[in-house]
Structure 1
Amino acid sequence: MADEVNALRFSLSGHPVALGFFLGFRLAALLTYIFGLIFTSNFVLIFIIVMLLLAADFWNTKNVSGRILVGLRWWNESSANGDSVWVFESADPQRQINGTDARFFWTTLYSTPVIWGLLALLAILKFELIWLSLVVIAVILSSTNAMAFTRCDRFGKANGIANSMFARSSRSIMQRFGGSILSRVYGGYSG
C-alpha cells in the first residue's frame, strides 16, 4: 500500500525526469556505499564510484534539479578584488511550483546530510576511519547544497526576485545568514 501511495505521489510530479535524476544520484551514492561495505572491501573501487555519484548529484542538484523542481539556482564566483561572491537565482514568483516536486526536493535535500552524518557516526564507532573520509566528503557536499538552497530560497523570498533576475550577495550577506563557515571554506573558490 505504501509503495502505491509513493508511486502515486511520484506520478504527480510536474518534472518526473528531473525528479528521477535528483533522487537517483542520491540513492545510488548511498546504496553503493552501503552495499559496497557489505559485498566488498575494495576501498578504491567504492571510493571512486561513490565520488563520481556524489559529484554528479552535487552538479545536477545545483544546476539542473533545483532550477527545474523549485525554481532556484546558486553558484559562487570570485569578484575582481578576490572576494567570494555568492550568486542566487530565483524563478519568476508567478511560476507555479509543483507541490510534489517541492516536497520531494526539500525533504531529500535535508535528509541526505543527516543520513550521511549517521553513516559517519557509524564509521567512527566501527573504527573504519578510511571509510570516514568518503562519508565526510558526502556530508560536506550534501550540506553545502542544502545550506546554499536554503539561503537562495530565503534571499529570493526576502527580495522578491522576479523574472530570473540575479541577486548578488557578497560574503557579508552569507555571514548574515549564518554561512560564515562555508565562506571560510570556499572563500577562494571560484567555480
Structure 2
Amino acid sequence: MAQLLSNEEEVLEAFDPSIAASRRFKHPIAVFFHMAFRSLAIVAYFMCSWAKASFVTSFVIIIVLLSMDFWTVKNITGRLLAGLRYWNYVDDAGNNHWIFESKKGTDKSTVSPIESNIFWLSLVFTILLWILLTITTLFSPTYIIITGAALALNVTNLYGFVRCKFGSNEKLSDEMKKTVFKSFLSRVTSGAGGNMPSSTDNEQQQSSAARTMFGP
C-alpha cells in the first residue's frame, strides 16, 4: 500500500511540477539562518545560566544574538520564506508611517509552503518558550530583563507579520502618492527661482516611489 501511494505521488509530481516544487526548500540558506540565530540565543541563555556566567556577559551575548535574529527575520527571512515585509518611512512633516506588505497573485509562487510553515511555527514556538523561561525567572529577577527583551523583539516581529498576512495593503499606493505630492509641493515652494519639473519627471518620481522591494 505504501509503495502504491509512493508511485501515485511520483505520477502526480511528473504531471504537475508545482507539487514537487512545493516540497522543496527554495531558500535553504535563509531557513538555516532563520533557525540558527533564534536557536543560538536560547542555547546561550541556558549555557550562561548553567555556567553561572556574570549577568553582564550573559546579557551582551544573548542580546546580540536576539538582535541579529530580529534583523534577519524582519528584513530577510520574512520576505523570502513567507512573502511578507513590514517597514516604515518618515514624511516631510516628520510623521512616522508603517507599511505592511504581502505577496499576492502570481508572486506567491516564489513562496514555498513548507518554508512558510517553518517560518510561522518557529515564530510562535519561540515566543511560547521565552514566556516559559520568563515564568521560571520570577525566582531570579535579574534574568527577567533578558527574557523580557527576547519577548519584546519576538512579539514585535510576530505582530508585524500578522499585520502583513491579514492586514490591508490598499493604503500603500495612497500613502506613496501623498509622499510624492508633498515632496513636489516642497520643491515648488522652496525653489521659486528654479525650474519647474516636467510632467515626465513627475511620472518617473511617482513610479519610483511606488516601487517596493517585491517589484522586479
Q: Is the TM value for this pair above 0.5? A: yes
Q: Percent identity?
A: 31
Q: CA deviation at 1:55?
A: 0.5
1:79 to 84, 91, 100: 91
Contact 2:27 2:80 in 1 (8 A): yes
Contact 1:119 1:135 in 2 (8 A): yes
Q: Which is helix-richer, 1 or 2?
A: 2
Q: How does 1:160-171 map to 2 (within 5 A)?
A: none
Return the alpha-carbon distance in structure 1 between the equivalents of residues 51 and 120 of structure 2. 32
Match of 1:115 in 2: 129
- Structure with max Cα Rg: 2
Return the alpha-carbon distance in structure 2 between the equivalents of residues 12 and 166 of structure 1. 34
1:102 and 2:110 correspond: no
- Taking a change above 3 Å as real, the CA distance of residues 113 and 167 of structure 1, as seen in their structure-2 partners, is farther
- Taking a change above 3 Å as real, the CA distance of residues 85 and 25 of structure 1, as seen in their structure-2 partners, is same
Contact 1:93 1:160 in 2 (8 A): no
1:19 and 2:31 correspond: yes
1:129 and 2:141 correspond: yes
Give the TM-score of the pair, scaled to structure 2: 0.64
- Taking a change above 3 Å as real, the CA distance of residues 49 and 36 of structure 1, as seen in their structure-2 partners, is same
Contact 2:101 2:169 in 1 (8 A): no
Contact 1:75 1:86 in 2 (8 A): yes
Structure with larger RCO (C-alpha < 8 A, sep 6+): 1
Contact 2:34 2:73 in 1 (8 A): yes
Return the alpha-carbon distance in structure 1 between the equivalents of residues 136 and 67 of structure 2. 23
Return the alpha-carbon distance in structure 2 between the equivalents of residues 85 and 168 of structure 1. 9
Q: How does 1:1-191 map to 2 (within 5 A)?
A: 12-95=24-107, 96=109, 97-124=111-138, 126=139, 128-155=140-167, 158-159=168-169
- Taking a change above 3 Å as real, the CA distance of residues 30 and 87 of structure 1, as seen in their structure-2 partners, is same
Contact 1:109 1:142 in 2 (8 A): yes
Match of 1:8 in 2: none
Contact 1:89 1:167 in 2 (8 A): no
Contact 1:89 1:152 in 2 (8 A): yes
Q: Runs of 4+ in structure 1 displaced over 6 angstroms?
A: none
Give the TM-score of the pair, scaled to structure 1: 0.72
Q: Which residue identity lines up with residue 98 of structure 1 in the other structure? A: S
1:109-154 deviations in Å (ceiling 9; x for gaps): 1221111111111101x2x111100110000000000000000111
Contact 2:127 2:155 in 1 (8 A): yes
Q: CA deviation at 1:159?
A: 4.4
